[in-house]
């Protein structure tokens, strides 16, 4: 029996090494036949001797069980997005800002390729993969561990040892590494050929294909599509090195796939040189890229530079200039969005652009159509904005066909026939028939059920099914659906019915500010809903608010204030809200949230600068908001005081002194709000 255990362990180690050679080093050492023979031997031995089973065995990369659904997991560290730049001038500004924020300090920039895939967070404990989480909303993501185990370039067990120490061969007991899940061009082309042959819609680009594949419920499908990965950032309490680049090299030794296209730059000229080289050379890569990521190398300096609400100050993404191609305009169709906005879309002769076949492009609004003086049959230049969304950028009027028809904006809604309106001062046309226009009805319900809103367990196809069956006309109708009704519908079984009804019940605990966002009031996003909830603690308070009261709320101007008033003035909306309230949805701010709020800083506008000992900059921003204060990033005559930590920015200090703005240190601030 001991001989069997040793043989199993030897086969596992040998197969993992072959995987690493094939997927990471691109240097296969054995034939596919020989590799498959060893894998089958291991599968046979594990089946015959289940006492030696190991979830991290190479045989487990291809699972056969279909997951019921994905669990949501909170990120230990938020997964923030990066600020984007599109020119060398903006890169120079980032470099200059970094110099000013690190006065007198030398710093290095690590330049990396920006791979165009779907973000993933991998958690390792004691050298083994324990969890894989998608980005989600940045604070919570889906647990896709079963699917990620099928991606052969992601190690299930690490090389080296788990002893803590600074040497690169020693991995921490627990750490997180982030990167990108990708679909190589070859796999993407093969997948789309198979989908077209099966009368399925092809994926738009490799990124969408990778994201869709990762959310597939069957790990076997994920394995068959041959996803790949590149890892690019490590987090944890006991990382092996004090610099980002050294940590990546350590990760490479542990078995992670780290891009060779990574360089430590010591000045701006080296950064620009790297960008210019890869702007050309990237077209020869086997996977999609859409830019360069620049990161300050020192982890200490990263901490000192801190974060904004949306992105780190120590990193930035440079987007490559979009490629352009010429093709002919075949027709223009008009679609209706959730808020009634009519969007014109150009149908084009298919043209290859940035690795994908482009057939459609956005025309934005009537002004764009008039600016181009578009005619059917025109030869148009098409680009991909940010390498993703195609758009028409130029029309070759000299090549215009004789007698071609001029494109004109529609006068009536293409979905319901209502006469469209263009409010004074706005670029968009809208359909005013909010309660009777199918795309608006379905779109508003899609927002209502979305993860950041009510998080109800159905998708857009199901909403269409409900609507077409006459079961739902607004969000409140969802709560009237019964098991008997659902079981009579096509594709519904007891388990799917139970899951949906359970998610409906759970949605009744969604906090008030998310309910406000879920209503889909035009102009009120996630942040706006939170700000409104802090001022108007109940839905009744908000419904009775005047235009003047609404405009007093931070970042709510005249246009948004009017859309709020108009929303609550509509009888159909008031009736829907009455029904939702009767069903038990949260229509008031939670008592515990209210208990944390004070008005100690009401009327104070505060700027935060420097590095702090007791709380992070982000935590201080939340504390200021909880106590009624307002955060701003720059000092002006309206600034009440500056909350200053160590290494306060010299420019901010200079401006504060010039304007006579008070400087408050960390301890003074905490005493001010009775936080000590």
Cβ density class 267-296: b for 16+ within 10 Å, e for less: ebeebbebbeebeeebeeeebbbbbbbbbb
Residue 289 near residue 115 (C-beta atoms within 8 A): yes
Cβ density class 526-555: b for 16+ within 10 Å, e for less: eebbbbbbbebbebeebbebeeeebeebee
**In the annotation, is 263 catalytic?**
no
Alpha carbon distance 160, 42 (integer Å): 23
Closest CA to 192 of 392, 379, 352, 309: 352
SS3 512: helix
Q: Taking every pair of C-alpha atoms in the chain, what is the biggest distance, in angstroms? A: 85
Alpha carbon distance 308, 80 (integer Å): 10
Distance of alpha carbon 242 from its chain centroid, rounded? 28
Residue 184 near residue 287 (C-beta atoms within 8 A): yes
Alpha carbon distance 206, 118 (integer Å): 10
Q: What 3 state SS string does 589-620 have?
A: CCHHHHHHCCCCCCCCEEEEECECCCCCHHHH
Closest CA to 80 of 135, 24, 152: 135
Query: Containing H/E element for 185?
Result: helix 185-197
Residue 603 near residue 568 (C-beta atoms within 8 A): no
Beta strands in 137-276 (DSSP E): 140-142, 174-182, 228-235, 262-265
Alpha carbon distance 263, 222 (integer Å): 32
Q: Which of 114, 295, 319, 621 is catalytic?
A: 114
Q: What 3 state SS string does 519-581 have?
A: CCCCCCCHHHHHHHHHHCCEHHHHHCCCHHHHHCCCCCCHHHHHHHHHHHHCHHHHHHHHHHH
The DSSP secondary-structure symbol of 56 reads T
- 211, 212, 216, 219 alpha-carbon torsion, rounded to 10°: -50
Which phi and psi (to 5°) does residue 555 adopt? 70, 10
Q: At a CB cut-off of 8 Å and minimum separation 6, what does 569 contact?
A: none
| Adjacency order of strands within the sheet including 315-319 | 84-85, 315-319, 289-296, 109-115, 262-265
Active site residues: 114
């Amino acid at each position: 029996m001991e001989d069997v255990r040793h043989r199993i362990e030897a086969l596992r180690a040998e197969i993992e090494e072959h995987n690493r050679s094939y997927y990471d080093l691109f240097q296969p050492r054995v034939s596919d036949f020989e590799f498959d023979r060893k894998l089958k031997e291991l599968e046979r031995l594990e089946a015959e001797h289940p006492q030696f089973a190991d979830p991290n065995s190479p045989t487990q990369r291809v699972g056969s069980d279909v997951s019921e659904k994905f669990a949501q997991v909170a990120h230990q560290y938020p997964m923030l997005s990066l600020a984007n730049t599109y020119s060398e001038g903006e890169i120079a500004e980032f470099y200059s800002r970094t110099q000013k924020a690190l006065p007198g300090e030398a710093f290095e920039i690590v330049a990396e390729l920006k791979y165009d895939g779907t973000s993933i967070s991998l958690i390792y404990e004691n050298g083994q993969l324990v969890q894989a989480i998608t980005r989600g909303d940045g604070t919570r993501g889906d647990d896709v561990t079963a699917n990620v185990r099928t991606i052969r370039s992601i190690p299930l067990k690490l090389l080296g040892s788990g002893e803590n120490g600074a040497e690169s061969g020693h991995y921490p007991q627990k750490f997180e590494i982030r990167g990108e899940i990708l679909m190589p061009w070859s796999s993407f082309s093969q997948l789309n050929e198979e989908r077209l042959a099966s009368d399925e819609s092809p994926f738009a680009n490799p990124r969408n294909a990778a994201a869709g594949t990762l959310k597939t419920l069957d790990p076997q499908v994920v394995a068959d599509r041959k996803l790949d990965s590149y890892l690019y950032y490590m987090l944890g309490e006991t990382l092996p090195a004090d610099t980002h680049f050294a940590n990546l090299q350590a990760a490479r030794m542990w078995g992670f796939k780290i891009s060779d296209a990574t360089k430590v730059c010591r000045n701006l000229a080296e950064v620009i040189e790297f960008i210019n080289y890869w702007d050309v050379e990237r077209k020869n890569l086997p996977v999609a890229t859409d830019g360069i990521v620049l990161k300050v190398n020192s982890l200490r300096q990263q901490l000192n530079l801190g974060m904004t609400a949306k992105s780190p100050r120590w990193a930035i993404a440079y987007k490559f200039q979009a490629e352009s191609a010429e093709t002919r305009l075949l027709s223009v169709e008009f679609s209706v969005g959730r808020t009634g906005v009519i969007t014109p879309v150009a149908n084009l002769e298919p043209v290859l652009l940035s690795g994908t076949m482009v057939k459609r492009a956005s025309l934005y609004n009537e002004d764009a159509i008039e600016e181009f003086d578009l005619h059917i049959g025109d030869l148009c230049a098409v680009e991909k904005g940010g390498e993703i969304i195609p758009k028409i950028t130029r029309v070759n009027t000299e090549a215009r066909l004789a007698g071609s028809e001029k494109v004109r904006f529609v006068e009536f809604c293409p979905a319901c026939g209502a006469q469209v309106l263009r409010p004074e001062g706005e670029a968009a046309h809208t359909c005013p028939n909010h309660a009777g226009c199918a795309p608006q009805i379905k779109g508003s319900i899609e927002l209502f059920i979305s993860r950041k809103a009510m998080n109800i367990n159905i998708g857009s196809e199901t909403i269409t099914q409900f609507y077409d069956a006459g079961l739902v006309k607004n969000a409140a109708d969802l709560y009237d659906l019964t098991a008997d009704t659902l079981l009579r519908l096509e594709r519904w079984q007891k388990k799917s019915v139970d899951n949906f009804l359970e998610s409906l019940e759970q949605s009744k605990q969604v906090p008030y500010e998310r309910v406000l966002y879920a209503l889909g009031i035009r102009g009120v996003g996630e942040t706006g809903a939170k700000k409104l909830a802090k001022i108007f603690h109940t839905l009744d308070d908000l419904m009775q608010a005047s235009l003047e009261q609404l405009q007093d709320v931070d970042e709510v101007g005249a246009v948004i204030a009017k859309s709020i008033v108009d929303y609550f003035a509509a009888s159909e909306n008031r009736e829907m809200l009455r029904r939702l309230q009767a069903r038990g949805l949260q229509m008031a701010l939670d008592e515990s949230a209210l208990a944390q709020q004070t008005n100690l800083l009401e009327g104070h506008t505060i700027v935060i600068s420097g590095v702090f000992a007791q709380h992070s900059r982000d935590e201080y921003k939340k504390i200021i908001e909880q106590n009624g204060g307002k955060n701003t990033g720059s000092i002006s005559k309206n600034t009440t005081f500056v909350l200053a930590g160590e290494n306060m920015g010299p420019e901010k200090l200079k401006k504060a002194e010039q304007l006579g703005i008070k400087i408050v240190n960390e301890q003074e601030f905490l005493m001010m709000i009775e936080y000590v």
